[in-house]
Each structure stands twice: as C-alpha cells, then as structure tokens.
Amino acid sequence: MCVRIADDLNLFDLLAQHSPRTTAELAELSGAEEGLITRLFRTLVGMGFVSQPDPTHFAATPVTRQMTQPSVRAGVKFFYDQGYPVLEHVPAYFKANGYRLPRTMTDGPFQFAHKTDMVCYPFWAEQEGVMENFSVFMQGLFGTPMRLGWADWFPVKEVCLDGFDRAKGEYCFVDVGAGKGHEAELVLKKYPDARGKFVVQDLGFVIGDITELDERIERMAHDFTEPQPVKGEIDIAIPSPYHVTAIELPTDTSPPLSAGARTYFLQNILHNWTSPVGHTILTHLKSAMTPGYSKLLIGNIILPERDVPLRNSGLDIAMLFLHSGMQRSEREWRELVEGAGLKVVKVWYPGGDGDGIIEVESSL
C-alpha cells in the first residue's frame, strides 16, 4: 500500500532525480501533506525502497531507481489494483469449493471475487487503462529488467533462425500472444540479417493498440485458443477451451500440404491457463507445425522439484488466483507438452530464477 501510494505521488522519481530531499521538499513537489510522506517513508525505509541518511532527509536506493522503470511500476500497479481485490476472497473461495483447485477457466478465485463467469482478460479489457498498463508491465520481461533476457543466453540463431528454408514457407518467427511485439523486435535487433517473415499475434484490441513496431514485423490479430493461421494444411477440430476437461487428438496424421513457420514462440503464456486450455493451445500449434522443420519455444518459469525460489512460488500462487493457471516444474511441462502429441527436445535453464525455455518439435 505504501509503495502504491508513493508511486502515485511520483516520490520515487523525485528522489531518483535528486537525493537526498527533506519531506518538506517532497510535500511541496508532490502536493501531499508532509505528515503522510513521513509515515509512508518510515515503512519504505524498512523495506529498502528508500534510505534515510539523517533524521531530516531521505535518499534513493537501487530499489528506488527500479521503481522508476515503466515496466516495474506497471507491475506494482497491476498486482495491487487487480490482484489484491481477488486475493482477499481466496480463502473463502477454497472453503466454499472444498479446497479443490479450479477445474475450468470460469470457476476460479477471480470469478468468485468478481461474481462473473468471464475470464480475466476480457474482464480487464472492459476497464479503462488496465490492459494498456498490463502491456507495459509485460514489455519489461515480467517487470524484471535486471534479469537476463532469453535471447541473451539462449542460442536463438542456431535453434530458430539458421534452419529457415524459404522453399518450405515464408514465415520464420511467429510470436504467439505477443503483446506489443517486444520479443520479436528483440530477436530482430540482435539478428538483423534474419531471413523470412516475422509476425506478432495477439487479440485484435492489443494489436490495434500497437503504436511503434519494427516495420519488418507483420501484425496479425489472432486468438491462440483458435486454429493457428500460419500453418501447414492440417486441420484439427477442437472444442471451445474454457470449459473442457479433455481433448482427443485426431487419428489422421497425414503430412501437411505446405510448411508452417520455422519457429513459434510462446513467452509467458501457458502459465495463465489450466492444463486443458494449455492442451488446446498446444494442439492448435501442433496442427500448424511441419514435422522435422518447425520448432516451438515455450518461454516460462520452470520450477525446481524442491526449494522453489520465493519469486517463482509467489508467481505460481498469483497465476492460481488470477487465472486459475499455474507455473510448472520440468515434469509438469513434459506432461503438458507430450499430452498434446508434441516432443520435448531439450529443457534449457538460465542462471538464477529467471525463465527457462522448453524446446519442442512435432512428433508426427
């Protein structure tokens, strides 16, 4: 609460611009009562968000400067404004539901708290500014610009780009659920000579809100719970994902008539969804991929089987109460991927507690 109010008052920016400052200076610059700032800062000092070099002055810390990053402050705003109203109802939800995990996307803590049967993203889209703020948050690699980006440690060129063959199809890199396209831009910036088309896909209102994007990247409105439009010619009929409990794969495994993309990318997508919906998303991608050619990269937290870092276990609980989703261990990722008829080629781990990459191919 103290961090959220301090952000509204731009106190972190004021200290980052000039330190140290007195509470009287901060009150004059922010318009807040000095006594309120004093009481907020007592807590912020204890948390390391600001420092107090002497009794009358406060100064910036590395955390203060992190709070001036657009993606970090967007993450704080998002989880406070959208998370806490749900979090308040989580104990009552589990008590009312016999302490069972949600079975579908429409019977979780989010729906219980808001008395709705809508999943979170359409619900948030009806609230002014929420999805725009969420997009800013996601552009900062999950609000953590201090962590190494996936393209800085993963062999993107060797795995994703070198194998592109224009004779097999025109698309090289398809970022599915891409937000405003920052991941595709990151790859092109790092590898400007990459061949083939790059495309970013997301819901229409997200794509329509993109104001700046590398001109080499195609924009495509797409709901990833529907069939993938950049594909080889295999059609798999799949029911609506939101209420499903199981999906049967088709028995027809005829090869595609034309090639899918060289690489499909899902960055921080599947943790938002229950396993049945994840199965749907992956099955649509399987239907689009060309066996022996297409790759699917799943960028996500990969939980260790023991001693899970607090950041990652906390994000698992956040996925549960906001989305009825989950973070997964390597074993759970393999179960989800292989259950959709795909093959895990390799699980790539970064240093520290950042996101890993699951490298996947079609098993046809």
Instruction: Report, as residue numbers or ranges, the catalytic residues.
Output: 271
- Angle, helices 70-78 vs 130-139, to 10°: value is 130
* Cα–Cα dist 157/151, whole Å: 9
Q: What is the 8-class DSSP label of residue 102? A: -
The residue behind tokens 């402050």 is 73
* Cα–Cα dist 81/284, whole Å: 33
Question: Cα 47 vs. chain centroid, distance in angstroms?
Answer: 26
In 3-state terms, the chain is what percent helix, strand and coil (to 5)?
A: 40, 15, 40
Q: What is the 8-class DSSP label of residue 239? A: -
E strand or H helix at 47: helix 34-47
Yes or no: say if 15 and 59 are a contact pair by the CB < 8 Å rule.
yes
Residue partners of 59: CB distance under 8 A and separation at least 6: 15, 19, 20, 21, 50, 51, 52, 53
* Cα–Cα dist 264/259, whole Å: 13
Q: What is the 8-class DSSP label of residue 255? A: P
Tokens of 102: 């949600």
Does residue 286 sit in helix, strand or coil?
helix
What DSSP string describes 224-290?
TTS--SS--S-------STT-S--PPPS--PPPSS---SEEEEES-GGGS-HHHHHHHHHHHHHH--
* Cα–Cα dist 38/23, whole Å: 6
